[in-house]
Structure 1
Amino acid sequence: MRPAQGQLSLDPAVRTGRLANGFTYFIRRNINPKNRVIFYLANKIGSLVETDNQQGLAHFMEHMNFNGTTNFPKNQLVDYLQKAGVRFGADINAYTSFDETVYQLPLPSDNPEVLRNGIQIMRDWAKGAMLDSVEIEKERGVVLEEKRLGKGAAQRMQQKYFPVLFGNSRYGQRLPIGIDTVLNNFKPGSLQRFYHDWYRPDLQALIVVGDINVDEIEKAIKQKFADLKNPVNEKPRIKYVFTLNGSNHFVKATDPEETSTQVQVLIKRQARPVKTTDDYRTYIVRKLFNHMLSNRCLELAQQKQPPFIYGGANVGSFLGNIDAFTMRLIANPGELEKGFKAVWRETERLKRYGFTAGEFEKAKGDYLKNNENTFKQRLTAYSDQFVGEYLTYFLNGTAAPGVEKEYALTQAIVPLLKLKDVNAITSNFSSDMNRDIIVTAPERDKTSLPDELTVNKWIATIKQENISPYKDSFTQKALLTTQPIPGKVVRQIDLDVIKATELILSNGVKAILKPTKFSDNDILVKAIAPGGSSLYSDADYESANVAAYLVTTSGLGGYSYNNLNKFLAGSTIASGVFLTDYSQGIQAAASPGELETLLQMFYLYFTAPRKDSVAFERYIAETRASLTDRKNSPENRFYDTLSAISGNYSIRRTPPSLEKLNQIDFNKSYQIFRQQFSDAANFTFTFVGDFNIEEVKPLIEKYLGSLPATYLHEKAKDLGIQPPTGKITKIVKAGLEPKATVSLKFSGDYDFSYANNLEMDAMAEVLQIRLIERLREEESGVYSPGVNVRYSKTPASRYVFSISFGCAPVNVEKLIASALDEVDKIKRFGPTEINIEKFKAEKSRTHETQLRANDFWSEYLNDNVLNEGDIYAINDFNTILEKVTPENIKRKANKYLSGNNLIQVILLPQK
């Protein structure tokens, strides 16, 4: 069917069709990542279709599709996918919202059997759930534990303001997580009726994007999904909407565990989804509006004494058929009025004067640059980028014309836009009707919070103020005022085994260059050196800890922080300096055409970092404000305790405080930064991405070869900050909700090597599999147990192996015992052969994809630099992986999970 006049056509690169039963499909070939495919099954049903006694069943049904289908009974589905190299929760996943339920499944596409079974799995998810009553009973606990994780201050306050925010709409009555009375008591027949009524082909679509044969996939879809049948006397899919009646609402909500005072103002209006060329023009105008308004709010936040902790506003989608102009504010303690007026004053300034011509032209140029970069990267874009577009196209009717069409539209529309087009948005959303004001705060501020009349008076006062027009302080100028004297490449080393090249410059700087074609128009650049704050005393630690942040927020060259952002807007340049415990450096990204600008920034960070006392005073003010109610949060108290114990109560690991804040000396911070970036010969720079070595060499010689060098080659100092030995248990009692959080940490000295690291990863993965099977599937006691291992060589070879989960307080001891029992089984018997095979499959498949990703290589090269590792070890991956056996993991477990050094930290409710 041809689109109507002005209607945007669907991306011609995707093949779409609709079967006789109403089932829809979208198929697109995309070769990045290679030998991979992503399946999405979209269902146009969510919590809104639930009856009163079904609240939560849409989400529960999502869970049940992983607990037994026609071709994969009980837990065979997860088991099969793990053997194929797919991780449960990380790769295979799903979500339920108000209007939709969506399942996702990434798979290898170079295995015909796995590919066939992938389509069978999607067919089973569409209409093949077993809904076994025993499995339903087991899953109740899992769903209730997921619900428990969301309980706390935010959820309690939402219960107070959601009725206002959602009005009398269906959205306020059907939160996807459901209600306890239904989740605890529904009969299997109720879930089966929901499934029968709503999982039907006329409400479903399959989206397939990846390295596949489109003809074969289409044929398989027609064979598998054509026999799906819609129910007799099917229920109509009612389109629930918000009805705007012009009324305003105001609500206050406080909670003893809330950590800040916040205000949201929402001015609602009917949404205008993007379907036509004219809609797309409106979409661009909004993007420009939000970009310029964001810059103005950012300038407010850059003041010496910011009027708020955070303040911002934008126009965007709200829910369903409604858009909203939304103002958000996190106030400084005791300064709610000041912060509110500061942001509202900007909206009033916009109403009176609009944006300036200079702001507008800059924003248009930036938008065109961003659009051009997206266009240049289209041939190496990842498949998930396309899946998201087709998903919203099916679910919401939002246009998905494709990158080429959007590029052509943008190039045609943006140059013709007028300033009045953007300024008109302000009047569209500047209304005293359909306005919601929501104030949330700590309980102790309950009596001092304003009422609706007071906030309305604040708004009225702003309307009467004599507000001057906005003055843009930005002036385009060069980053460097003088050009550096280039150095020379004195030695070039071919690292053929990893297809890279190492350069040694005349000032001692090392650079490792790995050109790739994994992502067009993209280069990742990092610089790293050992040292960090470990080289400074505890008395100077607080100054060292914020040194990189203060330099970053000071700006660069002749640009303030805000103007630097404006200078870089529209580019792909992203750059940040860091100074951690044991290293310092820069991590950045840019397109090939922007590499020189990026390296100029590197040069300035080393030679002339900007020092701005306003940035320092702003940081102090913001941090002091954030500390006021920080301890209200039980989660903060738990993780503060965990950090302090794990760091053996080093002053560098105890919680932030006003006393620590007062120790920061701005001059000392700046001095420390200059010292740590004074010896370029101690740094290694890595370049990974879309570049030609001979073309970038002159830039490297000019901007890196000219950097200062002291040749001291400092190393990080071992501070001895490590978890204490022995068995330690600490109970933290905090919080009102009946929920607990558990952290178990094994730690000690470690034999760091590529092979040992891989085996430690294996041990974590096989234990993760068992804890999911036991704590979640068998005992129904947790939602998502986590197992993690960290190992490091700098400054000393150490490891930390962690197990964590949330649960009901009454189940803490039982579940800890079960977790430790699984650890003991690995020590006594080793993991099962099948779980080792699952790890190998997942790790091997992940490794294949990583080898074709810039970010992986950038991280790998830098880790090897910092840990002085064997840069060629990665080529032994397959050999080392093959040697991972149950017996080897058993030995690892007995060595590193002995339990002699075990820290248990448990968060329990106050009562």
Structure 2
Amino acid sequence: MKIKTRGRNRLIALLSFIIAAPLLVPPALAQNSDNDKPQTKTVKEINQDANPLPWLYKGSDVPVDKSWTFGELKNGLRYAVKKNGVPPGQVSIRVRVDVGSLMEEEHERGFAHFMEHLTFRGSKYVPDGEAKRVWQRLGATFGSDSNAETTPTQTVYKLDLPNANRESLGESLKIISGMVSTPGMEQASIDAERPVVIAELQERAGPQTKLQDATRELFFAGQRLATRSPIGTIETLNGANENTVQTFHQRWYRPENTVVVIAGDGDPSVFEALVQQHFSNWKAKGVAGTIPDFGKPEETADSSRVVIEPTLPRFISMVTARPWELVDDTIAYNQQILIDLLALQLINRRLEARARAGGSYLQANVNQDDVSRSIDGTFVSIVPLTEDWEAALKDVRGVIADATANAPSQADIAREISEFDSALAIGAESYATEAARKQADDIVNAVDIRETVATPKSLWMFFAQCAIYIRRRGSCPQHENCLKVRQPAHY
């Protein structure tokens, strides 16, 4: 099961080689004194100069990544396109539909994933199995270059098309538009694909899945995520028929629930024209679905669970679960995230030091994630050094308790910020050579977690002043000043 996270994890994902990118400080800014006056315009005011804001940035003062072109069709479908020549000649297409296993009714468990399978069988423009052959002829390999994934909160169709030109892109987008708007949902197709999906379910029924299911049921008790793995159940998959599958499709596969992302070695105006050509005539049928309440964490007497599986290593996982809340993805929100990430990194440093100094665990770490729009959780993971897992648990809890009681030194804080500074500098320099498929995925994930995307340079800029205060004083007493954007000359 793939679980999507938001917020703190989004910042980590932007620069996968560091732990907390936002803390980095541009050298040019780090030399400024506390009395330097920032420019009078705030980021929000700068964004308003480009009124109206792109759909991804509405309600946010995060600087817009202007390398992307955003648009919306009359039928409600949204899109984002960008020229990116890495690698040369390739274009990456992502089509995201706002439906996953958390939107399924009890008798529909597994339907979102089942629908993903059915879309590849055949559709309005191609007969059963022909789409794969077309993309193979165009140089795309099924599984690596063309694929799809279903999570608790979204379904994403992916195509990385090598040696792309207007004709091959047009043919590909035509096929994909037919797949999502009018897939083959006849009973014969359902009966043919059902054994494939059930076989996939049975192949996954191993020790790791047993552990994942038990963890999910415990951590998300009382919520939909506790029992709704995207793969579904044999009972609900066997119960799928032409009527129930079509009803599910009409409820969720709608233009207003769909985002098309194209990034690659081509003209963005051509990308826009092709989206308009192949998706503008899509009209939804039936009654639109309403995203259900995913539930809140609940207190339960069953606060722990032991899973016995000899083939898996000994492992302890804990969570402190808080209700997930939709927030505006603002600079202030991200500044609080960076403070959280700094605290987590300082705790993880102490955990690592304790392990090296003779602790009873091999590895331990703390992280904080908002999971599948379900919980805001603080997670602790522990790998005991021996069979005495209770000693390892006691050891880790002692380190965490000490970290909450004894503040880090300024030297510790300065060390972390220095490391982040070097890492974000690399991220800012390498953004122009980042692969198109990665940047397309970033847009899709931002939509899924209901947030925006920001370039490493933007992160560097609007977190710089706050990081300076943290480094020099251990806090940010002049928070209002931290919301101002400085504009270094070399930008």
CA contact (8 A) 1:11 1:400 kept: yes
Q: Secondary structure at the match of 1:7?
A: coil
CA contact (8 A) 1:9 1:401 kept: yes
Aligned with residue 368 of structure 1, among 421, 425, 441: 421
Structure 1 distance, partners of 2:86, 2:213, is 43
The answer on 1:408 being equivalent to 2:457 is no
Relative to the length of structure 1, the TM-score reads 0.44
CA deviation string 1:596-642 (max 9, x = no partner): xxxxxxxxxxxxxxxxxxxxxxxxxxxxxxxxxxxxxxxxxxxxxxx
CA deviation string 1:84-141 (max 9, x = no partner): 1111111111110111000110113543321111211221232121124333222212
Q: 1:379 to 1:235 in 2, by over 3 A?
A: closer
Q: Secondary structure at the match of 1:65?
A: helix
Q: Extract unaligned runs of 5+ from structure 2.
A: 1-51, 477-491
Q: 1:37 to 1:412 in 2, by over 3 A?
A: farther
Deviation at 1:285, TM superposition (A): 1.9
CA deviation string 1:681-731 (max 9, x = no partner): xxxxxxxxxxxxxxxxxxxxxxxxxxxxxxxxxxxxxxxxxxxxxxxxxxx
Structure 2 distance, partners of 1:271, 1:197, is 25
Alignment of 1:322-361 (within 5 A): 322-361=375-414
2:416 aligned partner, one-letter code: A
Q: Secondary structure at the match of 1:309?
A: strand
Aligned with residue 19 of structure 1, among 73, 78, 87: 73
Alignment of 1:623-662 (within 5 A): none
Structure 2 distance, partners of 1:126, 1:5, is 29
The answer on 1:98 being equivalent to 2:152 is yes
Structure 2 distance, partners of 1:258, 1:214, is 50
Structure 2 distance, partners of 1:58, 1:15, is 29
CA contact (8 A) 1:109 1:115 kept: no
Structure 1 distance, partners of 2:132, 2:58, is 44
Deviation at 1:362, TM superposition (A): 0.7
Relative to the length of structure 2, the TM-score reads 0.80
Structure 1 distance, partners of 2:166, 2:58, is 40
Structure 2 distance, partners of 1:316, 1:13, is 28
Structure 1 distance, partners of 2:456, 2:214, is 43
- Counterpart of 1:310? 363
The answer on 1:283 being equivalent to 2:334 is no
CA contact (8 A) 2:219 2:321 kept: no
CA contact (8 A) 2:87 2:435 kept: yes
Structure 2 distance, partners of 1:63, 1:41, is 15
Q: 1:271 to 1:366 in 2, by over 3 A?
A: farther
CA contact (8 A) 1:208 1:387 kept: yes
Deviation at 1:340, TM superposition (A): 0.6
Structure 2 distance, partners of 1:369, 1:270, is 35
Deviation at 1:247, TM superposition (A): 5.8
CA deviation string 1:862-908 (max 9, x = no partner): xxxxxxxxxxxxxxxxxxxxxxxxxxxxxxxxxxxxxxxxxxxxxxx
The answer on 1:182 being equivalent to 2:236 is yes
Aligned with residue 28 of structure 1, among 58, 66, 82: 82
State which structure, 1 or 2, has the greater radius of gyration over its C-alpha atoms: 1
Structure 1 distance, partners of 2:465, 2:139, is 45
Structure 1 distance, partners of 2:460, 2:124, is 45
Aligned with residue 182 of structure 2, among 102, 109, 128: 128
- Counterpart of 1:70? 124
- Where relative contact order (Cα < 8 A, 6+ residues apart) is larger, the structure is 2
Structure 2 distance, partners of 1:72, 1:232, is 24
Structure 2 distance, partners of 1:128, 1:106, is 22
- Counterpart of 2:282? 228
- Percent identity reads 19
Structure 2 distance, partners of 1:274, 1:373, is 28
- Counterpart of 1:657? none
Q: If each structure's strand is expressed as a fraction of its own residues, which one has the higher value? A: 1
2:381 aligned partner, one-letter code: R
Structure 2 distance, partners of 1:201, 1:9, is 27
The answer on 1:50 being equivalent to 2:104 is yes
CA contact (8 A) 1:242 1:322 kept: no
Aligned with residue 139 of structure 2, among 71, 75, 85: 85
2:392 aligned partner, one-letter code: G
Q: 1:144 to 1:421 in 2, by over 3 A?
A: farther
Q: 1:158 to 1:218 in 2, by over 3 A?
A: closer
Q: 1:331 to 1:295 in 2, by over 3 A?
A: same
Structure 2 distance, partners of 1:50, 1:321, is 15
CA deviation string 1:249-303 (max 9, x = no partner): 5122333434333222211224575710101212222332233222222222323
Q: Secondary structure at the match of 1:291?
A: helix
The answer on 1:170 being equivalent to 2:220 is no
CA contact (8 A) 2:177 2:278 kept: yes
- Counterpart of 2:49? none
- Counterpart of 1:729? none
Structure 2 distance, partners of 1:5, 1:234, is 25
Structure 2 distance, partners of 1:12, 1:295, is 37
Aligned with residue 155 of structure 1, among 206, 209, 212: 209
- Counterpart of 1:553? none
The answer on 1:262 being equivalent to 2:306 is no
Q: 1:415 to 1:271 in 2, by over 3 A?
A: farther
Structure 1 distance, partners of 2:172, 2:248, is 25
CA contact (8 A) 1:161 1:253 kept: no
Q: 1:19 to 1:9 in 2, by over 3 A?
A: farther
Alignment of 1:837-848 (within 5 A): none
Deviation at 1:153, TM superposition (A): 2.4
Once structures 1 and 2 are overlaid, which stretch shifts more, 219-228 or 152-161?
Answer: 152-161
Aligned with residue 390 of structure 1, among 417, 424, 443: 443
The answer on 1:252 being equivalent to 2:305 is yes
Structure 1 distance, partners of 2:58, 2:278, is 32
Q: 1:149 to 1:309 in 2, by over 3 A?
A: farther
Structure 1 distance, partners of 2:207, 2:310, is 6
Deviation at 1:4, TM superposition (A): 6.9
Structure 2 distance, partners of 1:334, 1:220, is 60
Once structures 1 and 2 are overlaid, which stretch shifts more, 72-81 or 146-155?
Answer: 146-155
Aligned residues: 420
CA contact (8 A) 1:157 1:253 kept: no
CA deviation string 1:396-434 (max 9, x = no partner): 221213333223223333212266559xxxxxxxxxxxx
Aligned with residue 433 of structure 2, among 375, 380, 385: 380
CA deviation string 1:6-26 (max 9, x = no partner): 622432211111112110000
CA contact (8 A) 1:59 1:96 kept: yes
Structure 1 distance, partners of 2:382, 2:328, is 29
Deviation at 1:199, TM superposition (A): 0.6
